[in-house]
A and B are shown apart, each in its own frame.
Chain A
Amino acid sequence: MGCARRVPADLNASPGPTTGPGLRSAPGAGDAGAPVGETWRHAPYPVLVADRRGVLTGLNEAARQYLPRAARGDRLRDLAPSWLAEAHHRLAEARSPGGGDVPAGHLGDRFFEAHPTPAGDGRVVWWLIDRTDALQAETALHSARTRSEMLSGIASTLLSTLNVPRCMEVTASLAAQHLAEGAVLIAPPQGRRHQLTYAARGTGAVQVTQQVDTRSVPGLAEALQGFPPVPARWLNPDDIPDWLIPEGFTGPVGSVIVTPLPGHGVPAGALVLLRSGTEKAFTEGEEAFARLFAARAGAALSAARLYAEQSAITATLMRELLPPKLGSVHGVEYAGNYRAATDQERIGGDFYDVHPGSDPSRETLVVLGDVAGKGLDAAVLTGKIRNTLQALLPLADDHQRVLSLLNGALLSSHQTRFATLVLASVRRGDEGVHLRLTSGGHLPPLIIRADGTVEEAPTHGTLVGALPQVRARTIETVLAPGEICLLYTDGITEARGGPLGEELFGEERLRRALAGCAGMPAEAVVEHVQMLAFQWLRSGGHDDMAVVAIGAARSGGPPTVAGAKDGMNL
């Protein structure tokens, strides 16, 4: 029972005329030669007087309350708790009040510190100061500190993941580790099923999704709806349905807490904490702590759930806005590459599409364009343009009409946000690939001939979406095997960098580079152009960049209709 405690400074400083150091200024104290007087008999604290051999020579009324059978002449070792007897023995041997450690221990059901005052005749007066309440306060403070440390640890663990299932696992595991022997997290229903996360102390979390009757647990249905927590209560073990008992939970259920996990406006689920009959029931403090824990867990869970929802929405939208993968269609090679202006965004204001003809005798429509502006706003308009063009596919025989109709559709919604684009209708013929090209205010396509000459397709027209009328001129050309038609956006030619850092890549440089690409397959040309533009950029930022190459493959004529049934071979 005994222990030697270093008394904290704040406890020594507590008020009271006879506590701690105050004793040393009492009459007689500090004067080892003074005889033991009689005033101690009236002290309001238990006082014992013992001689050098440990024989009790006196005790006051207050001491008698705790040691009713003590009498003068008894040995301390027999009547007093061992911590006090040993402290007296040490003091008698050392003939000094000793170091800073004040002897302390229990006497009956109270906790005392013992302060000695040595007298001249070798006797020692032991003043016993009741520290029970201070000890309780200290214990409470310690446990509050432990909990707050635990809570902040829990919070950082919980917030370190934005993955919903992981977040639920962490919550259940932490709860089973710190709050109860078993924990079950019940997520809000999806349809008629709940995702359940079980954890028992010392085991990992287990997740299952199943249909359960939440009304079978008193308070659970309410907690799932976010009603105020149901107080902890003794539950008849028969009231706990089997599905609520985590695997690895030992013994019958003793006490249970059901608490909601409050989310952002909507409940994030409910947490059930279970303790077996052999463990203590939840105290009021523990229940409050459980609610605090639930609040943290609920906030973390809803953050994770919101994030999951938003990233799913973003992913869905992005999928619609991302450029397609290109391959070979009806004996014509297509290759494309796209780089959004910012590395974080995979979408932007440039776009391209390849709409395969229904059979090899029909034209495939290729579109590449650029919406003024950057980022998501621009990307949304590219989506609108791409959808509109898809609807206009049956009219693709007449590029100018397609551009006029697109212009009308864009004018109605966006005032000055315009787009420029190139339409290319492509069909493989016997002598090569037939192209019809129309620029709607876009950079004219470049054609790499087999001999290395680079031609600018002499098509021009008005940008779309800004003016009431648009005009455009369509040109026709044929690509011999090995020749390439390149559609690109100004992100390539306006790439700024080079040896001086401020120079534009420019159309001239692009043409010279393309002259060296004669005979290369479409994919290689696209990669080469992207690589050159990127090398030119050095570290600076850049606009969206899109490149599409249309190539007449060297080998093979038009494929059979059957082989092209799917339209595109990726």
Chain B
Amino acid sequence: MSPLSLTHRDTVAGPVLLVAGELDFVHAAELRRQVEGLVLHAGQCLVLDLSGVEFCDSTGITALLAARQHALAAEAEIVLAAVPAHLERILTIVGLVQVFTLRATAEDT
């Protein structure tokens, strides 16, 4: 299994987190920890670039929901960018495509 790798950069609009690897039982907690450590200001937008996600299970979804919770608590927005097809299918099944804002790329166009 490829482990999870998280790359963080800041833009004018807010932090962008590049998530690559596996969001599974073993690794999802890492994403959760990292996201909850991000400082978000009201009006900012947290972008999770999921283009590199190879696998996501229910604990991965939990981490995404926790990220959303974290953003909402700071009155910030959250965007899932470059969601791979398999992950989009999962998000559809669990009914989260309507809940999250999905965008084709991490860059705000």
Residues of chain A touching chain B, judged by Cβ–Cβ distance below 8 Å, are 349, 370, 372-374, 415-418, 420, 439-444, 460-463, 466-467, 470-472, 490, 494, 502, 504, 543
Chain B neighbourhood of A443, CB < 8 A: 93
Chain B neighbourhood of A441, CB < 8 A: 93-96
Tell whether B5 is near chain A: CB-to-CB under 8 Å. Answer: no
Task: List 14 other contacts, CB 8 Å, given A370-B58, A374-B25, A441-B94.
Answer: A349-B58, A372-B59, A373-B62, A416-B62, A416-B66, A416-B69, A441-B93, A442-B93, A461-B95, A462-B94, A462-B96, A490-B57, A494-B57, A502-B1
Chain A neighbourhood of B96, CB < 8 A: 441, 462-463
Tell whether B85 is near chain A: CB-to-CB under 8 Å. Answer: no
Quick check: A418 and B57 within 8 Å, CB to CB? no
Quick check: B99 and A420 within 8 Å, CB to CB? no
Identify which of A416, A461, A494 contacts B65 (C-beta below 8 A). A416
Chain A CB within 10 Å, residue with most, of B95, B96, B99: B95
Quick check: B58 and A373 within 8 Å, CB to CB? yes
Complex Cα gap A440–B95 (Å) = 8
Complex Cα gap A415–B55 (Å) = 23
Complex Cα gap A372–B92 (Å) = 17
Complex Cα gap A370–B96 (Å) = 16
Quick check: B99 and A462 within 8 Å, CB to CB? yes
The interface bits of chain B over 48-84 (1 if a CB of A lies within 8 angstroms of the residue's CB, else 0) are 0000000101110110011001000000000000000
Interface residue count on the B side (C-beta < 8 Å): 18
- Tell me how far the C-beta of A332 lies from the nearest C-beta in chain B, rounded to whole angstroms: 26
Quick check: A462 and B58 within 8 Å, CB to CB? no
Chain A neighbourhood of B92, CB < 8 A: 460
Nearest-CB residue, chain B, relative to A373: B59
Quick check: A372 and B93 within 8 Å, CB to CB? no
Nearest-CB residue, chain B, relative to A506: B86
The interface bits of chain B over 15-27 (1 if a CB of A lies within 8 angstroms of the residue's CB, else 0) are 0000000000100
Chain B neighbourhood of A462, CB < 8 A: 94-96, 98-99
Complex Cα gap A150–B94 (Å) = 65
Complex Cα gap A460–B59 (Å) = 20
Quick check: B62 and A418 within 8 Å, CB to CB? yes
The interface bits of chain B over 21-55 (1 if a CB of A lies within 8 angstroms of the residue's CB, else 0) are 00001000000000000000000000000000001
Complex Cα gap A431–B58 (Å) = 38
Residues of chain B touching chain A, judged by Cβ–Cβ distance below 8 Å, are 1, 25, 55, 57-59, 61-62, 65-66, 69, 92-96, 98-99
- Tell me how far the C-beta of B29 lies from the nearest C-beta in chain A, rounded to whole angstroms: 11
- Tell me how far the C-beta of A541 lies from the nearest C-beta in chain B, rounded to whole angstroms: 9
Chain B neighbourhood of A471, CB < 8 A: 95, 98
- Tell me how far the C-beta of B1 lies from the nearest C-beta in chain A, rounded to whole angstroms: 7
Chain B neighbourhood of A460, CB < 8 A: 92-93, 95
Complex Cα gap A444–B92 (Å) = 11
Quick check: A418 and B69 within 8 Å, CB to CB? no
Nearest-CB residue, chain A, relative to B95: A462
- Tell me how far the C-beta of B68 lies from the nearest C-beta in chain A, rounded to whole angstroms: 9
Chain A neighbourhood of B57, CB < 8 A: 490, 494, 543
Quick check: A466 and B65 within 8 Å, CB to CB? yes
Nearest-CB residue, chain A, relative to B60: A372
A-B pairs, 10 with minimum CB distance: A462-B95, A441-B94, A372-B58, A463-B94, A441-B95, A372-B62, A416-B66, A466-B65, A416-B65, A416-B62
Chain B neighbourhood of A466, CB < 8 A: 65
Chain A neighbourhood of B25, CB < 8 A: 373-374, 543
Complex Cα gap A543–B94 (Å) = 18
- Tell me how far the C-beta of A89 lies from the nearest C-beta in chain B, rounded to whole angstroms: 86
Chain B neighbourhood of A502, CB < 8 A: 1
Chain B neighbourhood of A463, CB < 8 A: 61, 94-96
- Tell me how far the C-beta of B48 lies from the nearest C-beta in chain A, rounded to whole angstroms: 15
29 contacts between A and B (CB under 8 A): A349-B58, A370-B58, A372-B61, A373-B25, A373-B58, A373-B59, A373-B62, A415-B69, A416-B62, A416-B65, A416-B66, A418-B58, A418-B62, A420-B93, A439-B93, A441-B93, A443-B93, A460-B93, A461-B95, A462-B95, A462-B98, A462-B99, A463-B61, A463-B95, A463-B96, A467-B65, A494-B57, A502-B1, A543-B57
Complex Cα gap A373–B57 (Å) = 10
Nearest-CB residue, chain B, relative to A444: B93
Chain A neighbourhood of B99, CB < 8 A: 462, 467
Quick check: B95 and A418 within 8 Å, CB to CB? no
Chain A neighbourhood of B66, CB < 8 A: 416
Complex Cα gap A439–B94 (Å) = 9
